[in-house]
Amino acid sequence: MIENPTAYWETLWAAGRQYRRLTDCETTVLDRQTGPGDGRLALDIGSGDGALARHLASRGFKTTGVDCAPSALALASTGPSSAAVTFCRADIESSQPPPLAERAFAVVTARLVYAFVKDKPAFLSRVRGLLAPGGLFWVVTPLTARVPAHRAPTGITTAEEELLTSGWSAVRATDMDYLRCFALRP
């Protein structure tokens, strides 16, 4: 369990740690779910180097990326086409969460982040509150069962997957080696 997400992630980003790159395979499946942005709002939670947020912006979404690590935001803000995205620094689990409009986002994404969320029920409830009617919650996460034991904390267990996928009107899962991509609709 990561007690202080900002300190934990900042140390890694500041040391130059990188994470699995966004692949065409992932964006193709995502794009099929979202359709064109047409100026609708998208939110990328734990936006890291900004690759997914920039992808959403390139598809026509007015995109916000939220991350708690200053070094990740610095990297994201200097990346190609970063001006198309609003990046903001916030701990999404803080008792004073960032001021994001309720029921406003057509797409909310969380890539390689969900496993690290401490209070998953509270987080899911927050995401549901942010989604516009008919919106999409897109989660990409390793599965604990598919990663080596020492990397188990980076993935979700079967029980955590059940929690993630319960209570949505539609759930679609697509596997990409050790990752599972979830398209969840309220």
User: Residues interacting with ligand SAM, by CB under 6 A?
Assistant: 5, 9, 19, 46-49, 52, 66-69, 72, 91-93, 111-113, 116
| Nearer to ligand SAM among residue 37 and residue 50 (C-beta) | 50
- Asked if residue 155 lies in contact with residue 113, where contact means CB atoms within 8 angstroms, the answer is no
Beta bridge partners of 143: 156
DSSP assignment string, 119-179: SHHHHHHHHHHHEEEEEEEEEEEEBGGGS-GGGGGGSB-HHHHHHHHTT-SEEEEEEETTE
For residue 154, the minimal CB distance to ligand SAM (Å) is: 8
Minimum CB separation from ligand SAM for residue 68, in Å? Answer: 4
Q: Among residues 44 and 161, whose Cβ is nearest to ligand SAM?
A: 44
Least distance (Å) between residue 35 CB and ligand SAM: 22
Please tell me the number of Cα atoms within 13 Å of 30 on its side-chain side: 27
Give the nearer residue to ligand SAM in terms of CB position, either 14 or 173. Answer: 14
Bridge-based pairing state of the strands 105-111 and 85-89? unpaired
Q: Among residues 46 and 134, whose Cβ is nearest to ligand SAM?
A: 46
